Amino acid sequence: MREFGKLANLLKIHTFFRSTMVWHEIASDEHYKKWCSTRKCIINNSLGGDGNQVVAFSYHNLNDDYHRVKYSSVPVLRLTAESILLKGVGEFGGDEFFRKARIKCVSEWGWIHLKARLGYESWGDIPPSEVCEWASDHNVFSYLPESYKKEFVK
């Protein structure tokens, strides 16, 4: 494992990459949606083709009062998205499946794109001080795990 690999893993398993505030600071919802459209469909693990490409399907449950919720998209084939709109999410795994898939997708996106913003190819190479400085500069330092912050103040 690289020098900072264990600390990087701590960030991954912690809620840092599950925070909407952190997502907002990493990049825009539009950026996230574009990324979603490059991923495999969460329903059938396909990239699609022939007019049935992956799209960023905005998933939110009915408690969201039908407002567009940022960072709520998941990658789904276009025809599957149309079926979901007609039949509901129940036939495609249900609300719990979509909630978990959304968090998994947006967390993965955050992980990939913050690493790139910081200019690294591997999280194992990123000194905690750089992550902490970025988080402090973007007002999300409080979302970092305590044990990660301790590495910063050494």
- Give the C-alpha separation, 28 to 150, whole Å: 29
Residue span of the structural domain in which 127 resides: 5-152
- Give the C-alpha separation, 55 to 48, whole Å: 10
> Is residue 37 within 8 Å of residue 30, measured between CB atoms?
no
Tell me: the pLDDT tens digits for 26-65? Answer: 999 999 999 999 999 999 999 988 889 999 998 765 445 5
Q: What pLDDT is recorded for position 8?
A: 87
Q: What pLDDT is recorded for position 11?
A: 87
Instruction: Please give the DSSP secondary-structure letter assigned to residue 141.
Output: G
Instruction: Count the domains in the chain.
Output: 1
For the chain, 154 residues long, the average pLDDT of each consecutive 10-residue run is: 80 90 95 96 91 88 57 94 90 92 95 96 92 95 88 63
Considering the entire predicted model, what is its pTM?
A: 0.88
Instruction: Please give the DSSP secondary-structure letter assigned to residue 9.
Output: H
